[in-house]
Amino acid sequence: MNLPTICVIDDHQDIRNALVEMLHLADYAAVAFASAEDALKTLDRSWQGIVICDIRMPKMDGFELLAALQTLDSDLPVILITGHGDVQMALSAIRSGAYDFIEKPFRREHLLEVVRRGLDKRQLVSENRQLKDTIAAQYKEKIIGHSTAINGLKEKITRLAKADVNTLICGETGTGKELAARSLHEQSDRNKGPFVAINCAALPESMMEAELFGYEAGAFTDAKKARIGKFEYAHQGTIFLDEVESIPLSLAVKILRVLQERQIERLGSNQSINIDIRVIAATKSDLKQLSEQGAFREDLYYRLNVVELHLPPLRQRDQDIVLLFRYFVSQASSRFNIVAPDLSLHVIDTLMQHGWPGNVRELINVAERFVLTDTLIDQRSLANWQSDSSRSSLPNRLEHYEKRLIEEALSQAQGSIKRTYQGLGIARKTLYDKLAKYGLDRHRFMDD
């Protein structure tokens, strides 16, 4: 069921019809069943509504249905209809997981109020599940690479993951700041909780506060129903604030309070809600400089920057370029269902000579284009790499090219000396001399 629907279960047709009519008049969708057994054939974990069920019924009664639904979905609100003699049993059932009970004869206003609260609870549960399912479905890839810079980053992430402190990730556009944040979350003790990513630059300033803090019904003109904010969604997990430099100064003081007190208030509410979160922020700017210029709150900067993590640009991890490119080509080939073209020496050389101003994000785009068009990309679109490389002397360019070919051969041979020198068509001693000359360690190219 896609729309919130109330499931009514009662073996008395008159009561069943009266309940459904009452709910329809209140603009609720409802379906009715004469037995719990029939209802169970329809109810499942994806049911968006709630259940109203009489206790005393033949065969399967309300308590048995409640037990079955608790096994199916413990978060499904079940409202029990009770007679005068069933009140104590109903209270016992609530301790067992029932949402509420309604005593016969019931007042219309009371029934509709309980229904409204039950549907609100179900909506919040559904939103939480949808968010978690979205997060779980998102593509999770490990940090790929064996360069000195990336190995150092991996080691630091592993150490910081257990620290559970506010972390600021700094790096150029396209260096993988969200991937680093996910890795911190997945290696932390919060990994069973949600990872909630927010791109602060993508949110209009007028919507940012409501999106982060949530709001109560009636908080503003279009606030028809209460909504949980992203901070509250991230409870017992991690919230990732990307492009945090885009947070307006007017909102920064409220975020500072969240970092200090781990409490939020929804818009339109005076009630503080405790939250247990880890905050990871990311920026491509110099936040310290921005704070000195008055463009970013200095106290917020220091609160976010308990620990700082710097991501290396792709030009500083050139040993990883071909490895990453092969990986993204493989991913694109699977996604587009196209056989990946072979990587020629010309393609490899072009990749290695390019400066990659767009970093890994640019590399992904080039890999996808390569798969789709069977061409790397025209040289002018690769920022005229020939003119850049021509500034180096010929001997330096030859050495650079030789080093990259050896690294590629080592990668293909997974660090095997024999397979590497055979693949390159050189002697074993020559290979060892080249490894020493370029400071290459074959162990870096072995599979973990």
Name the band, by pLDDT with cuts 50, 70 and 90, for residue 397.
low
Name the band, by pLDDT with cuts 50, 70 and 90, for residue 391.
very low
List 102's β-bridge partners, or say none: 81
Average pLDDT over residues 120-125: 84
Task: Give me the pLDDT at residue 84, please.
Answer: 66
Q: Is the pLDDT score of 63 beyond 90?
A: no
> Residue written as tokens 């061409």?
375
Structure tokens at 156: 């630091």
DSSP state of 139: -
Q: How far is Cα 187 from Cα 205, in angstroms, rounded to an integer?
A: 33
What are the structural domains of the chain?
Answer: 5-135 (3.40.50.2300), 148-312 (3.40.50.300), 315-445 (1.10.8.60)
Q: How many CA atoms lie within 13 A of 51 on its CB side?
A: 32
Task: Give me the pLDDT at residue 279, please.
Answer: 96
pLDDT tens by residue, 341-387: 877 777 787 888 888 888 999 899 888 888 887 665 544 545 443 34
pLDDT tens by residue, 72-90: 888 899 998 887 666 677 6
pLDDT tens by residue, 226-258: 888 899 999 999 999 999 999 999 899 999 999
Task: Give me the pLDDT at residue 339, please.
Answer: 82
Task: Give me the pLDDT at residue 337, please.
Answer: 83
Average pLDDT over residues 118-136: 71
Q: Is the pLDDT score of 50 beyond 90?
A: yes
Least confident among 40-49, 50-59, 196-205, 380-389: 380-389
Strands 277-283 and 167-170: parallel
Which string of b and e fits 174-200 if b means at least 16 CB within 10 Å? bbbbbbbbbbbbebbebeebbbbbbeb
Average pLDDT over residues 23-42: 91
Whole-Å CA distances, 426 to 63, 331, 369, 370, 409 = 79, 33, 34, 31, 12
Task: Give me the pLDDT at residue 388, please.
Answer: 42
Name the band, by pLDDT with cuts 50, 70 and 90, for residue 2.
low
Mean pLDDT for the chain overall? 84
Task: Give me the pLDDT at residue 375, please.
Answer: 61
Whole-Å CA distances, 437 to 278, 402, 433, 441 = 45, 11, 6, 11
- Written as one letter, the residue type at 25 is L
Q: Quote the pTM value.
A: 0.56
| Most confident stretch, 39-48, 374-383, 409-418 | 39-48
**CA 271 to chain CA mean position, Å:** 28
In 34-180, DSSP assigns E strands to 50-54, 78-82, 100-103, 167-170
Return the HEC string of 352-402.
HHCCCCCHHHHHHHHHHHHHHHCCCCCHHHHCCHHHHHCCCCHHHHHHHHH
Task: Kindly give, in sequence order, each residue whose CB lies less than 8 Å from that of residue 32, ignoring residues fewer than 6 positions away.
Answer: 7, 8, 9, 10, 16, 17, 19, 20
Q: How far is Cα 308 from Cα 427, in angstroms, rounded to an integer?
A: 46
Strands 237-242 and 50-54: unpaired
